[in-house]
Chains A and B, each alone.
Chain A
Amino acid sequence: ELKVEQNPLFLSMQEGKNYTIYCNYSTTSDRLYWYRQDPGKSLESLFVLLSNGAVKQEGRLMASLDTKARLSTLHITAAVHDLSATYFCAVDMDSSYKLIFGSGTRLLVRP
Chain B
Amino acid sequence: SAVISQKPSRDICQRGTSLTIQCQVDSQVTMMFWYRQQPGQSLTLIATANQGSEATYESGFVIDKFPISRPNLTFSTLTVSNMSPEDSSIYLCSVRTTTNLLAKNIQYFGAGTRLSVL
Contacts of A33 in B (CB 8 A): 107
A41, A43, A90, A96: residue with the most chain B Cβ atoms closer than 10 Å: A43
Query: Given A31-B105, A42-B92, do A99 and B111 touch, yes or no (CB 8 Å)?
Result: no
Are B109 and A101 interface neighbours, CB within 8 A?
A: no
The complex places the Cα of A98 from the Cα of B112 at a distance, in Å, of 18
Are A43 and B98 interface neighbours, CB within 8 A?
A: no
Query: Given A42-B92, A43-B92, do A98 and B45 touch, yes or no (CB 8 Å)?
Result: yes
Are B110 and A42 interface neighbours, CB within 8 A?
A: yes
- Contact mask B29-50 → A, CB, 8 Å, 1/0? 0010100000001111100100
Q: Give the number of residues in A that approach B within 8 Å (Cβ atoms).
A: 21
Query: Given A42-B92, A43-B92, do A98 and B33 touch, yes or no (CB 8 Å)?
Result: yes
CB of B70, distance to nearest CB on chain A (Å)? 15
The complex places the Cα of A97 from the Cα of B41 at a distance, in Å, of 22
Interface size class of B (residues with CB under 8 A): 20 to 34
Are B105 and A48 interface neighbours, CB within 8 A?
A: yes
The complex places the Cα of A97 from the Cα of B108 at a distance, in Å, of 12
- Contact mask A64-96 → B, CB, 8 Å, 1/0? 000000000000000000000000101000001
- Contact mask B44-74 → A, CB, 8 Å, 1/0? 1100100000000010000000000000000
Contact of B31 among A40, A48, A97 (CB under 8 A): A97
A45 within 8 A of B: yes
Q: In the complex, given contacts A41-B111, A43-B92, A97-B31, what are 14 additional A-B residue pairs having Cβ atoms less than 8 angstroms apart?
A: A35-B109, A40-B114, A43-B43, A45-B106, A45-B108, A88-B42, A96-B48, A97-B96, A97-B98, A97-B104, A99-B33, A100-B45, A103-B41, A103-B42
30 A-B pairs with C-beta separation under 8 A = A33-B107, A35-B109, A40-B114, A41-B111, A42-B109, A42-B110, A42-B111, A42-B112, A43-B43, A43-B109, A45-B107, A48-B105, A88-B42, A90-B43, A97-B104, A97-B107, A98-B33, A98-B45, A98-B58, A99-B33, A99-B45, A99-B94, A99-B107, A100-B45, A101-B43, A101-B44, A103-B41, A103-B42, A104-B41, A104-B42
